[in-house]
Amino acid sequence: MSDKQQEQSTTHFGYQTVPEAEKVHKVAEVFHSVAAKYDLMNDLMSAGIHRLWKRFTIELSGVRSGNRVLDIAGGTGDLTRKFSRLVGPTGEVVLADINASMLKVGRDRLLDQGIAGNVRFVQADAETLPFPDNHFDCITIAFGLRNVTNKERALESMLRVLKPGGRLLVLEFSKPGNKLLSTAYDQYSFKLLPFMGKLVTQDADSYRYLAESIRMHPDQETLKAMLEQAGFARVSYHNMTGGIVALHRGIKP
């Protein structure tokens, strides 16, 4: 692709169509804005259920002592903290996030909790992961894939750095199967979320974008096909909370 074609390539930023190069900066602004109150808003938005979604992700990961784990878009470190205990002193967890503000919040939080010995913090773009081939036993990305500009490229990058037999787990908002639930969820997302964002973080626009980004994210079957197209095998997904959230799992052949 030529430089001119790259300049003209567009993607979605919520419901807006923007140049691909611009999306990275726009998403960065959103997370710089919400980083300090990110955990509080997660608890408020999900009534604490996000902790159960993440616990199920941990259980399905199969991570054990001595493993090397990559937590992409690891943000404030919820998954990294649990993986650190599972892999033990002979394992390693890399918390990676493209956003410096989120990475700082996560690093400070984990260091305050005394979790550091087997954890590394890396500012990294999911589309061009700065790690060797066949390096990790498990990769997780929780509520981060929908913010990636080129999801296909990111999935291929994840496949590259996984060891053969390694697992990728993608935890992400998805599409409810029940029409009534879907309607109620729309009302909640587009009316209550921006209001809560304004009240707690003085930033309604960022939470309006987050609601829109969820609607623009591929549904369960589409994302399953994308993982398979990227080269993952035995791809499956589990719906949670009526399909509001789905956990996709794929294995590197």
148-185: b (≥16 Cβ within 10 Å) or e: bbbbeebbbbbbbbbeeebbbbbbbbbbbeeeeeeeeb
**Domain residue extents for the chain:** 13-177+209-252
Q: Is the pLDDT of residue 37 over 70?
A: no
pTM for the model: 0.85
Q: What is the pLDDT of residue 129?
A: 98
Name the band, by pLDDT with cuts 50, 70 and 90, for residue 107: very high
DSSP state of 160: H
Task: Give the mean pLDDT of 3-8.
Answer: 48
1 pLDDT band, cuts 50/70/90, is very low
Q: What percent of the chain has pLDDT over 90?
A: 58
Q: What is the CATH number of domain 13-177+209-252?
A: 3.40.50.150
Average pLDDT over residues 225-250: 97
Q: pLDDT tens for residues 154-203?
A: 999 999 999 999 999 999 989 998 989 888 888 877 777 777 767 776 77
**244, pLDDT greater than 80:** yes
pLDDT band at 31 (very low <50, low <70, confident <90, very high): low
Q: 104's torsion region: left (phi>0), alpha (psi -120 to 50) or beta?
A: alpha
So what's the pLDDT on residue 4? Answer: 44
Which positions make up the binding site for S-adenosyl-L-methionine? 76, 97, 125-126
3-state SS assignment for residue 19: strand
User: To the nearest whole number, what is the mean pLDDT of the chain?
Assistant: 87
Positions at the binding site: 76, 97, 125-126
What's the average model confidence in pLDDT over 1-27? 62
